[in-house]
Amino acid sequence: MTGSQSSARDLFVEEARGVELTAALSNLPLSHLSDRIARGELIGSCPACGGTDRLGVNPGKPAWVCRGSAGGRDAIGLAAHVLGLDASRAGDFLEACAAVLGRPVPDGSTESEDERRERQARIAERKRQNEEAAAKRDREANDFRAAEQARARGKWLYAKPDGQHVVYLARRLDCYAHELPIAPFLRTSANETYWHGKDDRDPRAVPVELFTRPAMVAPFVAPSGHVIGCHLTWIDLDRRPKFRPLIIDPKDPKGEPLPSKKMRGTKKGGMIPLVGFFELDGLILPDPHRPRFVVGEGIENTLAIALVEGPRADTIYASAGDLGNLAGPADAKGRFAHPTLKKADRNGVLRPVWVGSPTPKPEQAPDEALQAPPGARDILLLADGDSEVHATASAMARARTRLEASGALVTVAWPPRGSDFADILALSSFGQ
């Protein structure tokens, strides 16, 4: 190689190093990536490893990751990964630079025909290895999910249909136990341990047992009727007004109390069956003769409406478990800055809090959010009035648009600000 060739290559490499992730994207085989996540991340299959949503590129950070196998911050590394090149080899590294810049390595290729064939064979072999490793990781993730679902199902199966949850619900809704709408799939686990301290970011963290007390156990049911998860609500009958324990984090005693509700197994795409479901061969299915569907975030809120309505014989009552499962994923393009709320970032600088778009993400899979029963023509969505109002309103608008796509009539019911429907029931009868 002559001196001028090498300095031309040095310049070429320097130029490639200066290309930002965003600029390199259009030169790489990545036009299929879509911004499916509100955080500005582009997601899609990896040209080298396959999958459906394995590769994530966040041009804003900048960072890219191919789940479980590779990742980094620079465009050359990304190019090498998706093209199956080995950036530690000089020839491959120059090819990756060429891909990033969108033009060939200067001064022609010194690669012979044999070298080129050898490189192609190496790329093919690397691609095969990547795909094999990715398929193995997928199988392991699926096994893990199936095991988690089985554990959650077992928790519900071994809980008792009669127990403290009946007293809890009667106190929450301020009625007699015999007046409660019959929700045959709710159960009580008499001794449910509350584990805390498991941290996904720190695999060495060991969860500790905070306490053991009764909990209400509800199943999460997939549209197929299978129980895929469970919802736990710890109970403290002596603690008004919510009758749930105050749970202090021993590591952060002055911080926010820990949630008294938890979910296990899979929640997304499922729902908690309350009234209007039947059991058949181990499956829990909505009654197809009930055209009306009432659904809220919480069990208590939805049962409060069932209580004041009768419950109605034409209605299926269910809970989504949380707002995310009710609303479904948002269109990444429509997120907006909260008009007033700000949050300090790592450096203490106040940044606006982003609110998910009121528009649903296009082309959602059925397991990304709760699905209405197939025969539902008239849907009532129950909003929570005690959550942050902008985020809740945007999420409810999203749920409404999403569920209207089936042709059903969808209405959103709002409780007075600062309360939920269960609170209103309790308050109205205090006044009697």
DSSP code per residue over 312-361: -TTEEEEE-SSHHHHH-PBPGGG-EEEEEEEEE-TTS-EEEEEE--SSBP
If the CB atoms of residues 66 and 381 are measured against Zn ion, the closer one turns out to be 66
In 3D space, the residue among 222, 51, 221 whose CA is nearest the CA of residue 138 turns out to be 51
If the CB atoms of residues 51 and 375 are measured against Zn ion, the closer one turns out to be 51
If the CB atoms of residues 70 and 272 are measured against Zn ion, the closer one turns out to be 70
Contact call for residue 382 and Zn ion (CB under 5 A): no
Question: How many other β-carbons are positioned within 10 Å of the β-carbon of residue 47?
Answer: 18
Write down the least CB distance from residue 218 to Zn ion, Å: 39
Q: CB under 5 A: which stretch of 38-46, 140-148, 262-270, 317-325 binds Zn ion?
A: 38-46
Write down the least CB distance from residue 51 to Zn ion, Å: 8
Which one among 48, 79, 101, 410 touches Zn ion, defined by CB under 5 A? 48
Contacts with Zn ion by CB under 5 A: the residue count is 4
Contact call for residue 215 and Zn ion (CB under 5 A): no
Contact call for residue 66 and Zn ion (CB under 5 A): yes
Contact call for residue 46 and Zn ion (CB under 5 A): yes
Site string for Zn ion, 7-26 (x = CB under 5 A): --------------------
If the CB atoms of residues 24 and 217 are measured against Zn ion, the closer one turns out to be 24
Write down the least CB distance from residue 130 to Zn ion, Å: 6
If the CB atoms of residues 53 and 236 are measured against Zn ion, the closer one turns out to be 53
Cβ neighbours for 218, distance < 8 A, ≥ 6 positions apart: 156, 185, 186, 187, 230, 231, 233, 272, 299, 319
CA distance 288 to 296: 20
Distances (CA, A) of 41 to 47, 88, 91, 175, 201: 17, 27, 31, 48, 20
Cβ contact 134:49 at 8 Å? yes
Helices (H), 206-322: 299-309
Write down the least CB distance from residue 429 to Zn ion, Å: 59
Write down the least CB distance from residue 116 to Zn ion, Å: 23
Which one among 19, 49, 215, 323 touches Zn ion, defined by CB under 5 A? 49
- What is the amino acid identity at position 111? E
CA distance 23 to 296: 44
CA distance 189 to 204: 29
If the CB atoms of residues 49 and 284 are measured against Zn ion, the closer one turns out to be 49
If the CB atoms of residues 54 and 231 are measured against Zn ion, the closer one turns out to be 54
Strand 227-234: give its sheet, edge to edge.
Answer: 187-196, 208-221, 227-234, 261-265
Question: How many other β-carbons are positioned within 10 Å of the β-carbon of residue 161?
Answer: 11
Write down the least CB distance from residue 93 to Zn ion, Å: 18
Classify residue 296 by burial, with Cβ atoms within 10 Å: 0-12, 13-18, 19+.
buried
Write down the least CB distance from residue 45 to Zn ion, Å: 9
CA distance 263 to 299: 13
If the CB atoms of residues 79 and 232 are measured against Zn ion, the closer one turns out to be 79
Write down the least CB distance from residue 64 to Zn ion, Å: 10
Write down the least CB distance from residue 68 to Zn ion, Å: 9
Q: CB under 5 A: which stretch of 45-53, 136-144, 363-371, 412-420 binds Zn ion?
A: 45-53
If the CB atoms of residues 48 and 304 are measured against Zn ion, the closer one turns out to be 48
Instruction: Report the interface residues with Zn ion, using CB under 5 A.
Output: 46, 48-49, 66
